[in-house]
Amino acid sequence: MDAQNRSADGARTPGGSGGAGRPVPPPSSVIVLARAVGGSRDRYRRYQVLMDGQPAGTIGHGETRRFEVPPGAHRLQLAVGQCTSRTLASATAPGEVSCYVCGPSRRLARNVFATVADLTTRRNDYIALERTAEPVVASRAARTADRAANWRNGAVLAMVAGLLWTKTGVAATAGGVLLLLGAAVGGVAVFVEWVVARETPNHRGW
């Protein structure tokens, strides 16, 4: 009797259904989406992931997300505010892993006209989205530059706080120390970013 029960349970388990004899569904396909590191644009904004026109989740700076989808044709797009990426269409086979990488289509705009273009005429290409042969892993140079950028941003905030404390007299001594410390850390961070950019001028964060 126990052997019969085990046999029946074993028949139910592989199909994921309540009884033997039912068709076994094909394995899901997987879409792996990585977001590039580096740069200041959208660093602290999450992109919305749209799968076949429907929200499937969000992805932050430097993150990698996996989405299980049914085998077949799918459309992938990213959005942030009113801006989007181009839509990429692909057909996935059962069990297939499709890999993509995304990030800002370009770094911070050089002038106000380019910024306006990014938010108007180019808003449907604001985010870059590409398919890759394998999951993307950020390069060492990209990770180094990314950490330096975080330190730089933190240093700027520290300097602003230190300046306010000094000018308002709330904590003049502490403010002066914070101002000097922020300037030192920020200077080192900018130097590191400059070295990385000089040695790898074409790196895009992956």
According to the model, what pLDDT value does residue 102 have? 93
**Model pLDDT for residues 125-160, shown as the tens digit of each residue:** 899 999 998 888 777 777 777 788 888 888 888 888
Q: Is the pLDDT of residue 7 over 50?
A: no
In 61-111, alpha helices (H): none
Question: Whole-angstrom Cα distance, residue 204 to residue 139?
Answer: 9
What's the mean pLDDT when you consider all of the chain?
80
Q: Residue 134, Cα to own-chain centre: how many angstroms?
A: 16
According to the model, what pLDDT value does residue 204 have? 53
122 in helix, strand or coil? Answer: coil
Q: What is the mean pLDDT of residues 60-84?
A: 93
| Sign of the alpha-carbon dihedral angle for 83, 89, 92, 96 | negative
Question: Whole-angstrom Cα distance, residue 100 to residue 29?
Answer: 14
Question: Whole-angstrom Cα distance, residue 47 to residue 57?
Answer: 9
